[in-house]
């Protein structure tokens, strides 16, 4: 544990922590001194972290009872919560594994990306306040800021009326509303909006060289982002370096939305 880190003495709860951006946040926050409860719908192997400053909890963020149990576990383990990172998320294409028709895909994506963010925040806020205040970081997306006609662009999933942009746009607006509500209660609320990042969510796009090349060229920096770069942004927003920042959307997209 880094006793001199930006998050020294802080307790962080991170959802979607078993892969991609969530996992990168666990590593980054531990390196900067936080104690971490890593939560995911799948079982997390803690051996790779080689520290007693992290523990795990299996949780489906779409289920209120499980989210409430997750918060209770965090309190019994660490005694409080200072930071919540809502990283649990799914793309429409990834949701195909659990859905058989467009309506089920829509419901699955909205439930995980938007409802899950709401539920975790709902149960965590009173405990963050009781712990002396802190920070909530929601993982949104550039697709919460721009629109695209899914199915018309060969680079993107051909699923018709795509639920992913509305789900992430909802996260952006939820972030703003919650930030205003909590502004005088010692809790800052912000979101990070990644561009295309090298995670499992983009694996199907990156596996095709032609598609991957087109994807790269959507970004002025001519590359995709790394999960660690998004974790850096989340760390900044969680730390006192961002003490006067709330209700904001931090775009980490290689220039995508500047075009």
Please state the domain extents for the chain. 11-258
The alpha carbon of residue 85 and the mean position of all alpha carbons in its chain are separated, in whole angstroms, by 6
Residue 158 has pLDDT above 80, yes or no: no
The alpha carbon of residue 100 and the mean position of all alpha carbons in its chain are separated, in whole angstroms, by 26
Exposed (0-12), middle (13-18) or buried (19+): which is 252, by Cβ within 10 Å? Answer: middle
Q: Please state the rounded mean pLDDT for residues 35-59.
A: 97
Residues with catalytic annotation? 164
User: Are 218 and 256 a contacting pair, CB within 8 Å?
Assistant: yes
Buried b (16+ CB within 10 A) or exposed e, 37-70: bbbbbeebeeeebeeeebbbbebbbbbeebbeeb
Say what the pLDDT of residue 154 is: 46
The alpha carbon of residue 40 and the mean position of all alpha carbons in its chain are separated, in whole angstroms, by 12
Q: Please report which confidence band the pLDDT of residue 156 belongs to, taking 50, 70 and 90 as the band edges.
A: very low
* More confidently predicted of 91 and 33: 33
**Domain formed by 11-258, architecture:** 3-Layer(aba) Sandwich (3.40)
Q: Please state the rounded mean pLDDT for residues 225-251.
A: 98
Spatial distance between the Cα atoms of 123 and 128, rounded to a whole number of angstroms: 9
Reported as a single tens digit per residue, the pLDDT across 190-208 is 999 999 999 887 887 788 8
Q: Please state the rounded mean pLDDT for residues 41-47.
A: 95
Spatial distance between the Cα atoms of 74 and 34, rounded to a whole number of angstroms: 13
Reported as a single tens digit per residue, the pLDDT across 3-33 is 779 999 999 999 999 999 999 999 999 999 9
Say what the pLDDT of residue 159 is: 47
The pTM (predicted TM-score) of the whole model is 0.92
Q: Please state the rounded mean pLDDT for residues 153-176.
A: 78
Q: Please report which confidence band the pLDDT of residue 105 belongs to, taking 50, 70 and 90 as the band edges.
A: confident
Task: Identify the CA nearest to 139 among candidates 121, 154, 158.
Answer: 121
Tokens representing 50 are 């080689």
Say what the pLDDT of residue 151 is: 45
Say what the pLDDT of residue 141 is: 96
Spatial distance between the Cα atoms of 46 and 225, rounded to a whole number of angstroms: 25
Residue 185 has pLDDT above 60, yes or no: yes
Min mean pLDDT across 36-40, 44-48, 115-119 is at 44-48
Say what the pLDDT of residue 178 is: 99
* 4 Cβ contact list (under 8 Å, min separation 6): 33
Q: Please state the rounded mean pLDDT for residues 177-199.
A: 97
Say what the pLDDT of residue 150 is: 56
Residue 110 has pLDDT above 90, yes or no: yes
Phi, psi (5° rounding) for residue 219? -105, 125
Spatial distance between the Cα atoms of 66 and 64, rounded to a whole number of angstroms: 5
Say what the pLDDT of residue 211 is: 86
User: Are 87 and 136 a contacting pair, CB within 8 Å?
Assistant: no
Work out the mean pLDDT of the chain and round it to a whole number: 92
* 88 Cβ contact list (under 8 Å, min separation 6): 15, 16, 22, 39, 40, 41, 61, 112, 113, 116, 117, 120
* More confidently predicted of 150 and 107: 107
Helices (H), the chain: 20-31, 64-78, 92-95, 102-110, 116-130, 164-182, 203-206, 209-217, 227-238
Q: What percent of the chain has pLDDT over 70?
A: 91
User: Are 124 and 136 a contacting pair, CB within 8 Å?
Assistant: yes
Say what the pLDDT of residue 208 is: 86
- How does DSSP classify residue 43? -
Exposed (0-12), middle (13-18) or buried (19+): which is 88, by Cβ within 10 Å? Answer: buried
Residue 224 has pLDDT above 50, yes or no: yes
């Amino acid at each position: 544990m880094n006793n001199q880190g930006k998050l020294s003495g802080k307790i962080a709860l991170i959802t979607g922590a078993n892969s991609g951006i969530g996992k990168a946040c666990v590593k980054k926050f531990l390196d900067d001194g936080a104690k971490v409860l890593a939560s995911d719908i799948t079982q997390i192997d803690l051996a790779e972290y080689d520290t007693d400053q992290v523990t795990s909890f299996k949780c489906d963020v779409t289920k209120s009872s499980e989210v409430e149990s997750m918060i209770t576990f965090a309190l019994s383990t660490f005694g409080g919560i200072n930071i919540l990172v809502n990283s649990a998320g799914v793309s429409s294409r990834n949701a195909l594994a659990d859905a058989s028709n467009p309506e089920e895909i829509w419901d699955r994506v909205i439930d995980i990306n938007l409802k899950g963010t709401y539920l975790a925040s709902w149960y965590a806020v009173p405990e963050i306040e009781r712990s002396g205040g802190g920070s909530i970081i929601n993982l949104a997306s550039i697709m919460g800021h721009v629109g695209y006609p899914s199915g018309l662009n060969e680079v993107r999933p051909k699923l018709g009326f795509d639920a992913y942009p509305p789900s992430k746009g909802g996260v952006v607006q939820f972030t703003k509303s919650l930030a205003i509500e909590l502004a005088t209660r010692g809790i800052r609320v912000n979101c990070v909006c990644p561009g295309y990042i090298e995670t499992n969510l983009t694996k199907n796009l990156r596996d095709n060289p032609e598609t991957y090349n087109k994807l790269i060229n959507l970004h002025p920096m001519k590359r995709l982002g790394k999960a660690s770069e998004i974790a850096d942004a989340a760390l900044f927003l969680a730390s006192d370096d961002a003490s006067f920042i709330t209700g904001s959307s931090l775009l980490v997209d290689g220039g995508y939305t500047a075009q």
